[in-house]
Amino acid sequence: MADASGTLILDVTNRRWSAEILSGAQIPKEWLPQLFESPEVCGKLSKEGAEAADLKAGTPVVAGAGDQAAGAVGMGIVRAGVVSATIGTSGVVFAATDRPALDPQGRLHTFCHAIPGRWHVMGVTQAAGLSLRWFRDRFGAGMDDGRDPYERLSDEAASVAPGCEGLFWAPYLMGERTPHLDPNVRGALLGLSPTHTRGHLIRAILEGVAFSLKDTFSIFEEIRVPVTNIRLGGGGARSVLWRQIQADIYAHEVELMEAEEGAAYGAAILAGVGAGHWSSVDEACNAVTKVTTRVRPSSEASRLLQANYATYRRIYPALRSIFAGAATQQSA
């Protein structure tokens, strides 16, 4: 059901194939597969499959879910109010809901969740961790001291005060999805002065990505999606500095989970429910997901970064006017 939500032919609200869309597109319903909820058993392992995988024939196969829905289950994002902010190559803010929460402006994705009878809504930043990787690949990570390059970059950024002395990064290297739905806009570094260093640039990237993710939280507030807990995931959650920056920019305590396996962990939970080890996904997540660390926002830094966020939101309209014209010239 969760994967079917991305086909554009599912009636997400009623969790069934859309008769209206099938009729309009002239697609016979018999062409489509049977729909299963994520923890539902949809088959059993054949003898040949069991031999190839070194498993028992007849092992139940559970429908599972896509990466975002399964990853959310792995982090315990299964009830309204609990939200994840995950920074990988892209960045995703993901909230579980008890109803289909729809954004009238289409800035967010609303899907069936991996939990029967629940939905999720998410916003996506195209170039989240990709922004930092781009900097590392193009400008290096400083002198190699045997540590991970991202740890060295984080150390450089930590030497700079919050706000980067007026330097801003707009992380639109790949265009943007949330909230702008603009494939033509491109990234920008704004406010450079002779006093800025590599550390300023790196910290500006970390802050700019968090500002972009905060855009989704702003939309959640508009459409009344509750946010009581924010759990961090992905590579961005491994950086002590990036955790603090996110807490400061979101102006909300953030949490880290014990398990870091993400979608694979969530898929295992769904399989356990399907195999009868737990009666529900909620029960399973209560048993095997655990918060290990909480990071509170710094009041002084958070006040500064809230003001900077208001400035950040003025950047995209200016970039749109520039790159829309450039796209028109290129197409001509």
Give the confidence band of 329 by pLDDT, cuts at 50, 70, 90: low
Q: Which domains does the chain have, with CATH numbers?
A: 1-35 (no CATH), 66-263+271-332 (3.30.420.40)
- Helix residue ranges, H only, 3-66: 19-25, 47-53
Q: How many CA atoms lie within 13 A of 222 on its CB side?
A: 14
Strand 227-233 vs strand 81-87: parallel, antiparallel, or unpaired? parallel
- pLDDT computed for residue 16 by the predictor: 97
Predicted confidence (pLDDT) at residue 325 exceeds the cutoff of 90: no
Edge-first strand listing for the sheet containing 291-295: 109-112, 119-125, 91-97, 81-87, 227-233, 254-257, 291-295
- Pairwise CA distance, residues 158 & 242, whole Å: 9
**H/E element, 10:** strand 10-11
**H/E element, 136:** helix 129-139
Mean pLDDT within 152-168: 97
- Pairwise CA distance, residues 183 & 188, whole Å: 15
**pLDDT per position as a tens digit, 201-216:** 999 999 999 999 999 9
Q: Which residues pair with 133 in a beta bridge?
A: none
**pLDDT per position as a tens digit, 88-146:** 999 999 999 999 999 999 999 999 999 999 999 999 999 999 999 999 999 999 999 99
Mean pLDDT within 285-298: 96
Q: Is 67 a catalytic residue?
A: yes
pTM: 0.92
* Structure tokens belonging to residue 300: 């002084």
Candidates 11, 67, 182, 282; catalytic one: 67
**pLDDT per position as a tens digit, 240-280:** 999 999 999 999 999 999 987 789 999 999 999 999 999 99
- pLDDT computed for residue 242 by the predictor: 98
* Structure tokens belonging to residue 269: 């939970």
Mean pLDDT within 48-58: 95
Residue in 328, 102, 94 with CA at minimum distance from that of residue 233: 94
Q: Are 36 and 63 in contact (CB under 8 A)?
A: yes
Predicted confidence (pLDDT) at residue 331 exceeds the cutoff of 60: no
Q: Average pLDDT, whole number, for the chain? A: 95
Nearest-Å Rg of the Cα atoms of the chain is 22
**pLDDT per position as a tens digit, 72-104:** 999 999 999 999 999 999 999 999 999 999 999
- pLDDT computed for residue 326 by the predictor: 59
